[in-house]
């Protein structure tokens, strides 16, 4: 699973769509939704941090 951290930027879902087209299993979370421990518990293979305002 690839974890996309959304920094409240509209471009995030453009990137998510492209990653999905490449076959990635993408989970999107907002930057203030989860703690570091909760992210570690998800055990993502990759983390992408979106652009933000």
Q: In this predicted model, what pLDDT tens digit does every residue of 3-16 receive, in sequence order?
A: 999 999 989 999 99
Helices (H), 1-53: 12-21, 36-42
- Over residues 22-32, mean pLDDT: 96
Residue 17 has pLDDT above 90, yes or no: yes
- CA angle 46/11/7 to nearest 5° reads 60
Q: What letter does residue 51 receive in the DSSP assignment?
A: P
Q: What residue spans define the domains of the chain?
A: 2-49
Q: With a cut of 80, say whether residue 53 has pLDDT above it.
A: no
Contacts of 13 (CB under 8 A, 6+ apart): 28
- The mean predicted confidence, pLDDT, of the chain is 95
């Amino acid at each position: 699973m690839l974890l996309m951290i959304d920094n409240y930027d509209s471009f995030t879902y453009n990137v998510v769509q492209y990653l999905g087209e490449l076959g990635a299993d993408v989970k999107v979370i907002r930057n203030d939704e989860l703690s570091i421990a909760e992210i570690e518990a998800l055990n993502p293979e990759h983390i992408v941090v979106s652009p933000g305002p």
